[in-house]
Structure 1
Amino acid sequence: MQYNLLGKTGMNVSRIGFGGIPIQHVNEDEVKKIVSKCIGAGINFFDTARGYTVSEELLGKAFQGKRDRVYIATKTMARDRDGMMSEVEISLKNLQTDYIDLYQFHNVGSLDEYDKIMGKGGAYEALEKLQEEGVVRHIGITSHKLPIMEKALETECFATIQFPLSVVERQAEEIFKTAHEKNIGTIAMKPMAGGALRDGRKALKFILESPYLSIAIPGMDSLDQVSENAEAADGIALTEDERSEIVKVAKELGNTFCRRCGYCMPCPQGVDIPIMFLMEGYYSRYDLKDWAVTRYNNFKVKADACKKCGICETRCPYELPIRDMLEKVTEVFK
């Protein structure tokens, strides 16, 4: 495993970190095995969030006896001072620790939200106080919107920024360069485009070629994924054939696809929206038609249950036309 300094934090982090979204669906014993394998492979940075249901609690249990070998990053949607104070207290309890290495503002979606966080009585005030007390070591921000990152980089307030970066989504490249020049750590979320890129090794190696990227944090929910992802940081460059192959896959995906972040959920009708798109991807892109049809037919609630209320679209950070996309899934599996 290779390591980078995470900007001004001084933390020497593994180039591949652990993304904590998927483990909310994994049992406690398996999570402990996954965390142990990560540490054994040299992975020392673990990112989770208050919004990832039981992810914090599961990781907290898995970190027992290992706290001095890991850096813990978490985040919250709290935007005011009191709300942030409450959220950090819950995170400390869930993670079974008395300090958090990196606490981040989660998925800041608009400049109004940003201004609320940074204004009088905003959530930043809380993290500043907690940083002075040593409860929070460093403060970061995450978003899917470039204007938010650009505004954040105008200040000296953040030690890290977290933004999507993959062979499909490369708009972060310039903003990461700016951050790197300011000694701000850069964290790539969704490095495998939310699972849309199946070859994790190639996908990760592609973005790790960037000299401005501190760390990539693919989601992991199995021991095999830990092995595959850790191997991507071995320093061996992609061959030209491999690079051409992964770029071709990215072009075929385009921009209108689900990253499986889950922010659209829950659906009032009970549709598992990301899974619907995953099944359609297996059918249309990966030549697994029979398998995809069998899996799709086993779901009690399918894409055609959508009532077009549109709530999901208001939550999607990528502003995807989810209702139209669900119609396409229905057509594919007719």
Structure 2
Amino acid sequence: MLKRRLGRTDLSVTAISFGGLPLQRCTMEEASSVLDAVLQKGINFIDTARAYTDSEEKIGRYLANRRSEFYLATKSMARDKVSMAKDIDLSLATLKMDYIDLYQIHNIKTREDLDAVLAPDGALEALIEAKAQHKIGHIGVTGHSVPLLIEAIQTGHFSTVQVPFNFIEQDPLKELFPLAKKLDLGIIVMKPLGGGQITHTDLALKWILSHDITAAIPGMDSVEQVQENFAALTDYQPLTPVEVALLSKEAKEIGPNFCRRCGYCMPCTVNIDIPQTFIFHLQYTRYGLKEAIPERYANLPAKASECIECGICETRCPYDLPIRERLKQVAADLEK
């Protein structure tokens, strides 16, 4: 089992670990099977968040009595001290646990976010107090903006940094990862499969493992996905030139501006399932499912053409995607 040291936390975690965002798409029974498979395989690091609807609840229901088998990370979007303190206690209660190994400030997206967190009576103060009270073990930060994360970790307050990194998104390699290693921070990779867009799962994960990161946390919502992701961990070999070429071809086809299915854009004002709508469009345009997809799309309760262009979704998207324009294209292609 390939394990790596999570920076100065000194926790030894499996290099492929569990991302809990898709767990919110599972029923309670499905979540039980997925989480059991994770621990059965020996994966020992589980990451979730307050924002992932009932992900914490599912983990608490099925894993609270197996607490010694894994390290636990969660995170909050709170920016002020009072709200963060409340979220820490909510996490503990929902997870049915009295200790969280890593609590992270979630999704630093703007300068205002970072300033608020670090200000007097900001979220960081609540985390420092929770650590002193032994409610949490370590403090981390997550985000999609590499420049803001670089600034955040230079403050010295954080023991881990979590950022998107995959064969398509390689920006962290230039400055963030070297700085994190210099500061002895654990490096947690989110979106290692591009939110499910990268289909060469085994190759994509092995490519990530060839870099000096601590753990990749692909999201998993089925036992089959657990098994598939675990294979990269147990049968790790450097990629061949042919395999690298396969990844390069897929990266070129996907392009840099794609939906990662994180769901941060939701809920939609008029109840459009934006990630699912984009998945259908991708399957229609990229995979040539010209007959099946329009039929499935037609069953959605709200269509892309119903967008009122309020723009709220775009303010939430961590990748600043032009969601309104893309919904217009979906409508043009799938509502003929």
When normalised by structure 2's length, the TM-score is: 0.96
1:243 corresponds to: 244
Q: Which residue of structure 1 lines up, in the alignment, with residue 226 of structure 2?
A: 226
> How does 1:53-92 map onto structure 2 within 5 Å?
53-92=53-92
In structure 1, C-alpha distance between the alignment counterparts of 2:250 and 2:83, rounded to whole Å:
42
Aligned equivalents of 2:204 and 2:327: distance in 1? 27
What corresponds to 1:115 in structure 2?
A: 115
5+ residue gaps in structure 1? Answer: none
Q: Which residue of 2 aligns with 1:278?
A: 279
Give the structure 1 partner of residue 330 of structure 2.
Answer: 329
Q: CA deviation at 1:62?
A: 1.4
CA distance in 2, matches of 1:287, 1:206: 28
Contact 2:103/2:138 (<8 A) preserved: yes
Structure-2 residue corresponding to 1:36: 36
1:13 corresponding residue in structure 2: 13
Amino acid across the alignment from 1:217: I
Q: How do residues 169-184 of structure 1 correspond to structure 2 at under 5 angstroms? A: 169-174=169-174, 175-184=176-185
Corresponding residue for residue 100 of structure 1: 100
- 1:195 positional shift: 1.3
Q: State the one-letter code of the partner of 1:262.
A: G
Give the conservation status (yes or no) of the 8 Å contact 2:44–2:70: yes
* 1:145-160 equivalences in 2 (<5 Å): 145-160=145-160
1:237, distance to aligned residue in structure 2 (A):
2.3
For residue 291 of structure 1, report the CA deviation from its aligned partner: 2.6
| Misfit runs of 4+, over 3 Å | none
Amino acid corresponding to residue 316 of structure 1 in structure 2: C
Cα offset for 1:177?
2.0
Residue of structure 1 in register with 2:26 after alignment? 26
Mapped to 1, the partners of 2:228 and 2:288 lie a distance apart of 22
Unaligned ranges ≥5, structure 2: none
In 2, the alpha carbon distance for the partners of 1:238 and 1:137 equals 36
* C-alpha distance in 2 between matches for 1:288 and 1:59: 36
Shift of 1:184: 0.2
| Higher mean C-alpha deviation, range 87-96 or range 194-203 | 194-203
TM-score by length of 1: 0.97
| Per-residue Cα deviation, 1:181-206 (whole angstroms, up to 9, x for no partner) | 22100011111111111222122112
Task: Indicate the residue corresponding to 2:255 in structure 1.
Answer: 254
Are the counterparts in 1 of residues 259 and 275 from structure 2 also a CA contact under 8 Å?
yes
Q: Quick one: structure 1 residues 209 and 289, their matched pair in 2 at CA, closer, same or farther if it must change by over 3 Å?
A: farther
Q: What one-letter code is carried by the residue in structure 2 that aligns with 1:243? A: V
> How far apart in 1 are the matches of 2:324 and 2:115?
31
**Residue 233 of structure 1: SS of its match in structure 2?**
helix
Assess if the C-alpha contact under 8 Å between 2:61 and 2:96 holds in 1.
yes
1:135 aligns with 2:143: no
Q: Secondary structure at the match of 2:107?
A: coil
Give the secondary-structure state (helix, strand or coil) at the position aligned to 2:179: helix
Q: For each residue in 1:37-94, what CA deviation from the matched residue of structure 2 results, as whole angstroms up to 9, or x when unmatched? A: 1111121111111011111000111113210001110000111111111000000001
Distance in 2, Cα, partners of 1:307 & 1:155: 42
Whichever residue aligns with residue 127 of structure 1, its letter is: L
1:165 paired to 2:145: no
Per the alignment, residue 202 of structure 2 pairs with 201
Distance 2:43 2:287 in 1: 30
- C-alpha distance in 2, partners of 1:307/1:28? 34
Q: Point out the more displaced range, 1-10 or 200-209.
A: 200-209
Tell me the amino acid that sits aligned with residue 332 of structure 1.
D
Separation in structure 2 between the aligned mates of residue 227 and residue 219 of structure 1, nearest angstrom: 12
How far residue 231 of structure 1 moved from its aligned partner, in angstroms, is 0.8
> Offset of 1:309 from its aligned partner?
1.4
Q: Which moved more, 1:42-51 or 1:295-304?
A: 295-304
Distance in 2, Cα, partners of 1:135 & 1:240: 47
Contact 2:5 2:214 in 1 (8 A): yes
Over aligned residues, Cα RMSD in angstroms?
1.1
Give the 3-state SS of the residue equivalent to 1:107 in structure 2: strand
Counterpart AA for 1:305: E
Distance in structure 1 (CA, Å) of the matches to 2:97 and 2:287: 43
Whole-angstrom distance in 1 between the partners of 2:287 and 2:173: 28
Measured after TM superposition, the shift of residue 314 of structure 1 is: 1.1
Shift of 1:280: 0.9
Instruction: State how far apart, in whole Å, the 1-side matches of 2:290 and 2:13 are.
Output: 40
